[in-house]
Amino acid sequence: MKYSEKYFAELIKSVDVKFNGDRPWDIKVNNEKLYSRILAEGSLGLGEAYMDGWWECDQLDVMITKLLGGEIEQKIREKPLALIRLLMSRVFNFQSKSRAFNIGEAHYDAGNDLYQKMLGERMVYTCGYWKSASNLDDAQTAKLDLVCKKINLQPGQTVLDIGCGWGAFAKFAAENYGANVVGITVSKEQKKLADKLCEGLPVEIRLQDYRDTNEQFDHIISLGMFEHVGYKNYKTYMKSAYKALKPGGYFLLHTIGGNKSVHGTNPWIDKYVFPDSMLPSVAQIGKSIEGLFVMEDWHNFGPDYDKTLMAWYDYFSKAWPELDGKYSEQFKRMWDYYLLSCAGIFRSRKGQLWQIVLSKGDIKSIPNHVRSS
């Protein structure tokens, strides 16, 4: 047994995972070069090796949960290029205004057909709220309704939706609460479909960066966009939101969060799924709102993202025969790895999902509607 194979076999054995074991969460090795590839390239090599068919796992989400729960990722050396990029992120602003549309082209423009098959009826690409829901569509409807209730949305009020996706919130708020919504996105494909889905409603979808918003709104919401802002821009983002919020209004920030402050992301995620992304910490968000907003409520329902991702994976898997031909087999393996490994992140409690309600401090008391539900 080579050194690399012995090293990783002992490492994963500590978290009840084996190479070529007979349990569904064990790793089945198809290429013996896998061990040296992980040793040389870290988590990027692990993910790319899966894409290349070098290994299989019947319950990849369970396997990832076990690895993360045992802090195995901290014991795997990252590729030097990944470390260099992390250092560069300290110097350069990878989420600058000039690069704002990169994520739209790289991920959200992948194809509306893919997302229509995967996301469910409302096409919401953020965590559902499963407290009283038994399926994805109900969980997403409950989440959108929860957002409207937390900002105390009233008929005729205006809402800015930062990172509006395919217009799911805008459509829901207009139809169910009588709101007038402006949604902004950096994805051309999202805008194209959002315009169609929201046709006839008091909704305007703009292809626009958050830094270019000049009007004021009764309320602001942002669902799953803050992960693309970058720590160098957190204060700028909050200042933009503060300027756009009318007195007496609420700003609801819905974001994935991490347990510690970081300045980059997993190298595989950065390369293949969400380039230039990073998860904010409690400390980073707190520092960004300091001197601007008052934090009225902070709600964590991170475990719900595990359920959401597994539902997306189920939808994607069932729809693959219809998508096969437009997307390669390697793309399918990449997408499977993305959805299942992310489910493992939330299941192991390494990732959180926060809804934070902010005000300008001009609310005299904390109304019940903003409290965690």
Per-residue pLDDT, 104: 43
Beta carbons of 223 and 166 less than 8 angstroms apart: no
Per-residue pLDDT, 8: 87
Q: Spell out the per-residue pLDDT of the chain, length 373, in tens.
A: 577 788 888 889 999 999 999 999 999 999 999 999 988 888 899 999 999 999 999 999 999 999 999 988 776 655 444 444 444 444 444 444 454 445 445 444 556 889 999 999 999 999 999 999 999 999 999 999 999 999 999 999 999 999 999 999 999 999 999 999 999 999 888 999 999 999 999 999 999 999 999 999 999 999 999 999 999 999 999 999 999 999 999 999 999 999 999 988 888 998 888 888 899 999 999 999 999 999 999 999 999 999 999 999 999 999 999 998 888 999 999 999 999 999 999 999 999 999 999 999 997 666 666 667 6
Report helix, strand or coil for 327. Answer: strand
Q: Angle 85-91-266 (CA atoms, 0-180°, nearest 5)?
A: 30
Nearest 5°: phi and psi at 216? -115, 150
Beta carbons of 201 and 174 less than 8 angstroms apart: yes
Rounded Cα gap, residues 176 and 147, in angstroms: 12
Report helix, strand or coil for 18. Answer: coil
Rounded Cα gap, residues 94 and 90, in angstroms: 9
Report helix, strand or coil for 92. Answer: coil
Residues annotated as catalytic (active site), given as ranges: 342
Report helix, strand or coil for 160. Answer: strand
Rounded Cα gap, residues 337 and 359, in angstroms: 38
Would you kindly state where each structural domain of the chain is located, as residue ranges?
3-77, 107-370
pTM: 0.90
Per-residue pLDDT, 81: 45
**Structurally, what CATH architecture does the domain formed by 107-370 represent?**
3-Layer(aba) Sandwich (3.40)
Q: Are strands 180-185 and 203-207 parallel, antiparallel or unpaired?
A: parallel
Rounded Cα gap, residues 292 and 311, in angstroms: 38
Per-residue pLDDT, 366: 66
Rounded Cα gap, residues 329 and 337, in angstroms: 12
Rounded Cα gap, residues 60 and 52, in angstroms: 15
